[in-house]
Amino acid sequence: MTLFLFIARFLLLCAAVNALQPLPVFAEENPVSAAVLAAQQQRVAAIRQASMAAVSIFAGGQGGGSGVLVSSDGFALTNFHVVQPAGVSMKCGLNDGNVYDAVLVGLDPTGDVSLIKLLGRNDFPFAMLADSDTVRVGDFCFAAGNPFLLATNFQPSISAGIVSGVHRYQYPAGTLLEYADCLQVDAAINPGNSGGALFDAEGGLIGVNGRASFEKRGRINVGVGYAISSNQLRNFVGMLRGGRLCDHATLGATVATSEDGRVVVADILESSDAYRRGLRYDDEIVSIAGRPVRTVNAMKNILGTLPSGWRVPLVLRREGRPIEMLVRLAGVHSPAELALLVEGGGAPADPRQKKQKPLDKDAPQKNPHDDTPESGKKTAQVPDIVKPFYEPRNGFTNYYFNRLERNRVAALIASRGDYAVCKGSWIFSGTLVGGGDFRIELAENFASIDLPTGTTRIDTTGDLDGNPSPPGSGGLLASLVLWRRLLQSGPQSLGRTDYWGTAPLLGVEELCDVLHSTVAAVELQVASSPADGTVRGLELWPSSQDDPCEVRFLDHTSLNQIEMPHRFEVRHGNELFAIFQIRSIEFTEIPSNDEASDRVSFLEPGLEYFTADRSL
């Protein structure tokens, strides 16, 4: 035994002597160049700047994790599995050494994301979302977070590394916590890093860390961590800000790789929108949402980053010919299912994927989110400081924030003109692209449309349920009636109206704010520009069984400083109903000191005029 100790000491001594030998790399004939020092300075500065936005989240004795501020008014992203044990309120420490109260805003359990809001300041430091699709394997990256909850002074731990893989897919546990199209990094991601930021070299936010591959070595990093991509986060952030309980998308079809390597439809639900649009068994999927589908994994990656309810372009190939369609994506869960999963403390264990776990699952689980007002048990636990910012409601995470967003969007839309004064009839006349004239009259108690195929008139004093007039449009008159009501009297005139989130208009254009109204059995979605409130499109379902009538406003004009459409397109199902070119707009009762001629505006003829105008 003595001999063993002696040998051990001797070995230690040898190691110590070895450690004293200077490393050849740092020999004096290799002075550090100015460029290298400058690069280091830049890295230090980027890390210092990015660290300001890092949040340490404490879930009150239930563990905790990390987060990252994304707006000056205190919105911060983190993981669902970090806030799940915390309930609706949590304490957050920032790099400045201060602790802030925070309230839960929105949840995306399928994507393992949640949005919280820190209270008390309007000048929080924050990180900017970068484009995660430009990230390349080998790029420098660093994580800022609170591994092992070490940050007692709230200064984040920084771990640096490279991007090890892009467009990775990590299976969900049950149906929650799916990491699709995620980033893989060798920067150390440990328990407690969950929800924290992954930054690129410039300090741009490229992802939110939340998962790692472990296996035989316990719950410590083995050089394999995963981050939810910033581009996925961008898709959901609108819904999250609206206090929603978000779901991810499914096509309603399963795919398989054929023997010759094509991705083909193996099964399809006849109730899915994809089926209604014409997708069939054995069709080859070429692309979804503009991204190529070469493997089954690629399709999972694409769908896994999209919210339920979005419409995306889909290209299929059948008998060698490509066919394009717009498909509305369904949810992975029904809303009730999702609420149950969240309330039930998360996902059941999935035996398929034991080794890839979200971090921080050691903390005991409890119901984070109980939005049924009648139960009242959770409301009692909400701390006083958070109470003014929390409103439970079925199907939502925190309806207080939905109200805020709805009011914000409604105010923006109202800013496009003093619609309230335009009483009486609104009369639009002009020509149809492809030939023929039209006249649309939206009166106080009726609406009518004259088309070359005939005249249709509906009574607007009662419900508009199931009214698809004029025939073939899917409900154009009802759409325009409700659109006028929204402009003139605001969302409260449309029955129950919620903020839906953001979605690309017709699946192809920039993200729009979307309001969702339920007027008796009719559902209406209004898409407007987040920048200025211009209404860009309407979708109306006369009943839940129908395809919607889709109205897309292509051009706008201004009449007495009131914004009005100049040209719009109407679609129903797979068909284009018509493109309306408005030549004149008349308000029959506009209170004005001016002459009556001002009620009518005759627009210059033709599309060319506006095209030219725009190019100036």
**Locus of tokens 């002075």:** 31
Q: Is 49 in the site for other proteins (CB under 8 A)?
A: no
From 89, 114, 164, 194, active-site residue: 194
Residue 29's Cβ-count burial label (10 Å; 0-12, 13-18, 19+) is exposed
- β-pairing, 454-459 with 446-451? antiparallel
From 81, 167, 333, 572, active-site residue: 81
Quick check: bond before 470 cis, omega within 30?
A: yes
Binding mask 426-455 for other proteins (x = CB under 8 A): ------------------------------
Contact present, 76 and 115 (Cβ < 8 Å): yes
Q: Is 24 in the site for other proteins (CB under 8 A)?
A: yes
What distances in angstroms separate CA 511 from CA 36, 487, 522, one per listed residue? Answer: 41, 21, 24
Annotation says 112 is catalytic:
yes
447 C-beta neighbours (distance < 10 Å), count: 26
C-alpha dihedral over 26, 32, 38, 40, to 10 degrees? 0
Annotation says 81 is catalytic:
yes
Closest CB 215 distance from other proteins, rounded Å:
6
**Which residue from 91, 276, 291, 294 is in contact with other proteins, where contact means CB under 8 A?**
294
Q: Is 43 in the site for other proteins (CB under 8 A)?
A: yes
Q: Compute the Cα dihedral for 330, 335, 340, 345 and give only its sign.
A: positive
Q: Is 30 in the site for other proteins (CB under 8 A)?
A: yes
Q: DSSP letter string over 198-238?
A: EEETTS-EEEEEEEEE--SS-SS--S-EEEEEHHHHHHHHH
Q: DSSP letter string over 314-355?
A: EEEEETTEEEEEEEEPEESS-HHHHHHHHHTTSPPP-TT-SS
Q: Is 42 in the site for other proteins (CB under 8 A)?
A: yes
Q: Is 356 in the site for other proteins (CB under 8 A)?
A: yes
Annotation says 556 is catalytic:
no
**Which residue from 184, 209, 305, 502 is in contact with other proteins, where contact means CB under 8 A?**
184
Closest CB 217 distance from other proteins, rounded Å:
6
Closer Cβ to other proteins, 213 or 557, answer by number: 213
| Tokens (6 digits) for 401 | 């924030």
Q: How far does the chain reach from its first CA to its final CA, in angstroms? A: 92
Specify the stretch interacting with other proteins by CB under 8 A; choose among 28-36, 189-197, 233-241, 395-403.
28-36
Closest CB 201 distance from other proteins, rounded Å:
4
Contact present, 175 and 333 (Cβ < 8 Å): yes
Q: Is 217 in the site for other proteins (CB under 8 A)?
A: yes
- How many residues form the binding site for other proteins (CB under 8 A)? 47
Stretch 476-505 residues interacting with other proteins (CB under 8 A): none
Closest CB 34 distance from other proteins, rounded Å:
11
Q: Is 164 in the site for other proteins (CB under 8 A)?
A: yes
Cα 177 vs. chain centroid, distance in angstroms?
Answer: 16
In the chain, DSSP finds a helix count (H) and a strand count (E) of 10, 33
Closest CB 252 distance from other proteins, rounded Å:
24
**Which residue from 202, 350, 450, 555 is in contact with other proteins, where contact means CB under 8 A?**
202
Closer Cβ to other proteins, 43 or 423, answer by number: 43
Closer Cβ to other proteins, 168 or 567, answer by number: 168
Phi-psi region of 475 (alpha: psi -120 to 50; beta: other; left: phi over 0): left
Binding mask 237-276 for other proteins (x = CB under 8 A): ------------------------x---------------
Binding mask 364-403 for other proteins (x = CB under 8 A): ----------------------------------------
Which segments of 94-217 does DSSP mark as H helices, in order? none
Quick check: bond before 335 cis, omega within 30?
A: no
Closer Cβ to other proteins, 217 or 614, answer by number: 217
Q: Is 36 in the site for other proteins (CB under 8 A)?
A: yes
Q: Is 38 in the site for other proteins (CB under 8 A)?
A: yes
Q: Is 186 in the site for other proteins (CB under 8 A)?
A: yes
Q: Is 201 in the site for other proteins (CB under 8 A)?
A: yes
CA dist 303 and 292 (Å) reads 12
**Locus of tokens 């990252």:** 68
Closest CA to 57 of 195, 158, 191: 195
By CB under 8 A, name the binding residues for other proteins: 23-25, 30, 35-36, 38-40, 42-43, 46, 136-140, 161-170, 184, 186, 200-202, 213, 215-217, 221-224, 261, 294-295, 297-298, 355-356
Active site residues: 81, 112, 194
